Amino acid sequence: MTATADDIMTVVAARALRDRAVCFVGIGLPSLAANLARRLHAPDIVLVYESGAIGAKPTRPPLSIGDGELAETADAVVSVPEIFAYWLQAGRIDVGFLSAAQIDRYANINTTVIGPYEDPKVRLPGAGGAPEIAASSREVIVVVRQSLRTFVDRLDFVTSVGHHTGHDSRARLGLRGRGPSAVITDLGVLRPDPVSRELVLTEIHPGVVVDEVSARTGWPLRVSATLTVTAAPTPAEVAALRELRGRQA
């Protein structure tokens, strides 16, 4: 079983989640990674879905946040207003797990439109829970495939704030969470510089070269002096992921 680039991205995202962490997960890549973590090193991870399921333990990756299995396996089921007010806004979420259509060097995210807002080239689904997940989670992890379409110099629309314009600009906006701590892609992992908060390539996946990552980044990519290579997914990790994908309804 050879791990694909997508497999590595998902496995690395899963590894980033510690056991017992309380994770607010969107559908798609984030949900897949979080459920993988739950089957591997984090059996007691608490998955929170914006549809109102707290501590959901789905047997298959849900296609929709409204999936019935989320309610059936959850520790608690609450209303949507409550999940956003009492749980996310109140600061009870350790990790917010997001994806993106476009991301910039400060890990700000666009999921609204490609092109001008009034005359968009592509109308995307929109914000969903992302702006407040990005604002209020103690920490944010972004999982996104890396390309010139997604890693752009300038977002067409800022849907959700990462590190804003860098430095302490995010904190000055009054956002309570610390913002994105990692952007995990199919090529490597980018983390914010401790001072400027610009994304820096800190980890590269096996077989990927830095030039390739730079070529798929829409701004001059900074690379860490202590760049490490991602530990290859173990057979157990890949097997668990494939098994999970196979269950997808």
The residues that touch other proteins, with contacts defined as CB under 8 A, are 20, 22, 27, 46, 50-55, 63-68, 70-72, 75-77, 79-81, 84-86, 88-92, 112, 117, 120-132, 135-136, 157-161, 164, 170, 173-176, 249
How many CA atoms within 13 Å lie on the side-chain side of 27? Answer: 14
Angle at 131 between CA 129 and CA 132, to 5 degrees: 75
Nearer to other proteins, 54 or 184 (CB): 54
Give me the least distance between CB of 122 and other proteins, in Å please.
7
Cα–Cα distance between 128 and 119 in angstroms, integer?
Answer: 21
Judged by beta carbon, residue 75 or residue 243, the one nearer other proteins is 75
Instruction: Decide if 35 contacts 58 (C-beta within 8 A).
Output: yes
Determine the Cα–Cα distance for residues 101 and 113; give it in Å rounded to an integer.
9
The CB-side HSE value for 128 (13 A sphere, CA atoms) comes to 21
Smallest distance from other proteins to CB 38, Å: 14
Residues with active-site annotation: 50
Q: In angstroms, give the least distance from the CB of 79 to other proteins.
A: 6
Q: Which is nearer to other proteins, 97 or 237 (CB)?
A: 97
Q: How far is the CB of 136 from other proteins (least distance, A)?
A: 6
How far is Cα 21 from Cα 31, in angstroms, rounded to an integer? 14
The maximal CA–CA distance of the chain, rounded, in angstroms, is: 48
For other proteins, the closer CB: 22 or 227? 22
Burial of 122 (C-beta count, 10 Å sphere; 0-12/13-18/19+): exposed
Handedness of CA 131, 133, 138, 142 (dihedral sign): negative
Nearest distance from C-beta of residue 239 to other proteins, angstroms: 24
